[in-house]
């Protein structure tokens, strides 16, 4: 990944401004891309783009392959004749500074259902051909996903593990009956995916036209309530009743006395290896159809992972188990012709994790908010960065830089100011300047830091129930002065991408 120095900003599409309660893939996304291109940045980083479930987290999706239908733009549907201006006139008075998912979800899905009815009753010829082609090329995951979502809806939205046994175990006659009785509902789910992939494909083409690249994101684990688990139970550690025998987490550490119990099902890696990791290769190929690079969350689990007996109240009773290691990536490289991957290698690591990164030539991550603890050997300090890494001021899981700085004790603030040569009045700008000066081939900041937003701009607080993932870019913030300031930073750091 080494070579030309580049930069980018992290902004999930749900955070874009717009009148419909949640950011989408319509006009504001194109304005955002144009503004970002004018700053001389190369990368737009996003969070996972999948359909979110309980808690609205993009890291717990109903599918590792599907897109989030909430991102479909009503304006683009209206331009195509699938919606009318009157359909959009009764939009609720959504807040402009955050996503109210409770309001957005029913209103947005009702719009998509209306678009589907119009498509079904008076289908445009060109769109019909595209839809048929989409159904055919994506059938390897789409058929199961569409039926899964239709079945969820038919069972009141409950998890698939509570469905009748013949459906849970995918008995042939039960599936045939469900496909027949829920054909219209499955079509509706597939159509939502068609809209997402069509709109994202056009937006990505615009990014490519502007010389921009997209850095995507992949959770390592899938959600327990997902089409992936239901359709491929043999790829996970499940019992005879299709319930996880062990679940994912991390052990107790300095920050958490009982560890973190995530609850995701864990891969049966021997089964994956037996067919050359075909499911994973298909997943990564799909992700690289949406982005140019993919950040893999919790990368260390490819070396070793913490598994906890299902039903444990905390993660304390877990154990370390070896992951698939380098063999996994050798299969992926042969299948995909390369490894366009960024490894999230944060936290305490087995020594074999950096060794694997070095063997594969994969870039890891450096977070500057972790750097200034007074230890000159702190690996997050810029003097310890290499060219083959991605440096961040912070991530979606961190407070904004302004919020982080305010939370420090006075002595810690003095240490940060001294390290940055800062007076502290524009700490986010100063930390971005430090990141951009790093040897790392790519420097990234959350958009909140480019705005110098306070803690109200935080995207996610790990461990907090509710209130996450809702921040939105306030209207009118993509100003000429901010564009010019970021362009100057790109030029002075040698990261400016000329048009």
Cβ burial of 367 (10 Å; 0-12, 13-18, 19+) is: middle
Is residue 268 part of the annotated active site? The answer reads no
Cβ burial of 207 (10 Å; 0-12, 13-18, 19+) is: buried
184, containing H or E segment: helix 183-209
Is residue 38 part of the annotated active site? The answer reads no
Angle at 170 between CA 167 and CA 175, to 5 degrees: 75
Instruction: Kindly tell me the sign of the dihedral angle through the C-alpha atoms of 405, 406, 411, 413.
Output: positive
Q: Which residues pair with 304 in a beta bridge?
A: 322
Is residue 241 part of the annotated active site? The answer reads no
Q: Which residues pair with 52 in a beta bridge?
A: 61
Each as own residue / partner, the long-range contacts of residues 203-207 (CB below 8 Å, 24 or more positions apart, any chain) are: 203/25, 203/29, 203/30, 203/33, 204/290, 204/291, 206/30, 206/33, 207/33, 207/44
- Tokens 């445009």 locate to 124
Query: Residue 8, SS3?
Result: strand
- 203 vs 33, 192, 410, CA distance in Å? 9, 17, 45
Do 23 and 14 contact (CB within 8 A), yes or no?
yes
Which of 292, 297, 352, 412 is catalytic? The answer is 297
Up-side HSE of residue 344: CA atoms within 13 Å toward CB? 18
Which of 80, 87, 352, 397 is catalytic? The answer is 397
Pair of tokens at residue 378: 């702190």
The Cα–Cα gap between 470 and 477 comes to 17
- Tokens 């996450």 locate to 468
Which of 185, 217, 307, 344 is catalytic? The answer is 344
- Tokens 């060109």 locate to 126
Kindly report the three-state secondary structure assignment for every residue of 260-320.
EEEEEECECHHHHHHCCCHHHHHHHHHHHCCCCEEEECCHHHHCEEEEEECCCCCCCCCEE
Active centre residues (catalytic): 297, 344, 397
């Amino acid at each position: 990944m080494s070579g030309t120095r580049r930069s980018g900003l992290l902004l999930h599409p749900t955070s874009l401004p717009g009148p419909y309660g949640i950011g989408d893939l319509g006009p504001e996304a194109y304005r955002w891309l144009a503004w970002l291109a004018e700053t001389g940045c190369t990368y737009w980083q996003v969070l996972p783009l999948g359909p979110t479930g309980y808690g609205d987290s993009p890291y717990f999706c109903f599918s590792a392959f599907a897109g989030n239908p909430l991102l479909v733009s009503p304006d683009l549907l209206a331009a195509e004749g699938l919606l009318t201006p009157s359909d959009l006139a009764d939009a609720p008075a959504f807040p402009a500074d955050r996503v109210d998912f409770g309001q957005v979800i029913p209103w947005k899905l009702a719009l998509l259902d209306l678009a589907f009815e119009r498509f079904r009753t008076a289908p445009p010829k060109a769109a019909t051909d595209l839809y048929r082609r989409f159904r055919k090329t994506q059938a390897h995951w789409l058929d199961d996903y569409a039926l899964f979502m239709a079945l969820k809806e038919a069972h009141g939205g409950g998890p698939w593990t509570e469905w009748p046994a013949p459906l849970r175990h995918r008995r042939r006659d039960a599936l045939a009956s469900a496909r027949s009785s829920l054909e219209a509902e499955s079509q509706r789910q597939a159509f939502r995916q068609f809209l997402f992939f069509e709109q994202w494909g056009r937006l990505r083409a615009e990014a490519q036209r502007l010389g921009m690249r997209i850095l995507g994101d992949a959770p390592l684990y899938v959600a327990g309530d997902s089409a992936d688990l239901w359709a491929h139970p043999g790829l996970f550690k499940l019992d005879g009743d299709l319930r996880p025998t062990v679940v994912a987490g991390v052990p107790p550490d300095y920050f958490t006395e009982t560890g973190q119990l995530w609850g995701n099902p864990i891969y049966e890696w021997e089964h994956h290896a037996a067919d050359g990791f075909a499911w994973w290769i298909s997943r990564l190929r799909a992700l690289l159809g949406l982005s140019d690079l993919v950040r893999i969350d919790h990368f260390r689990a490819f070396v070793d992972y913490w598994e906890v007996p299902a039903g444990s109240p905390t993660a304390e009773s877990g154990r370390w188990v070896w992951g698939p290691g380098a063999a996994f990536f050798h299969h992926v490289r042969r299948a995909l012709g390369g490894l366009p991957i960024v490894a999230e290698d944060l936290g305490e690591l087995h020594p074999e994790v950096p060794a694997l990164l070095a063997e594969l030539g994969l870039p890891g991550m450096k977070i500057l908010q972790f750097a200034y603890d007074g230890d000159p050997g702190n690996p997050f300090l810029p003097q310890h960065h290499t060219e083959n890494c991605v440096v961040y001021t912070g991530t979606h899981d961190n407070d904004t830089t302004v919020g982080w700085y305010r939370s420090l004790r006075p002595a810690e603030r003095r240490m940060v100011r001294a390290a940055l040569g800062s007076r502290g009045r524009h700490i986010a700008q100063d930390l971005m300047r430090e990141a951009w000066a790093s040897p790392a081939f790519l420097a990234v900041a959350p958009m909140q830091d480019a705005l110098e937003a306070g803690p109200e701009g935080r995207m996610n607080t790990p461990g907090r129930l509710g209130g996450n993932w809702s921040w939105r870019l306030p209207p009118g913030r993509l100003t000429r002065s901010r564009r010019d300031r970021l362009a100057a930073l790109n030029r002075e750091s040698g990261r400016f991408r000329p048009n």
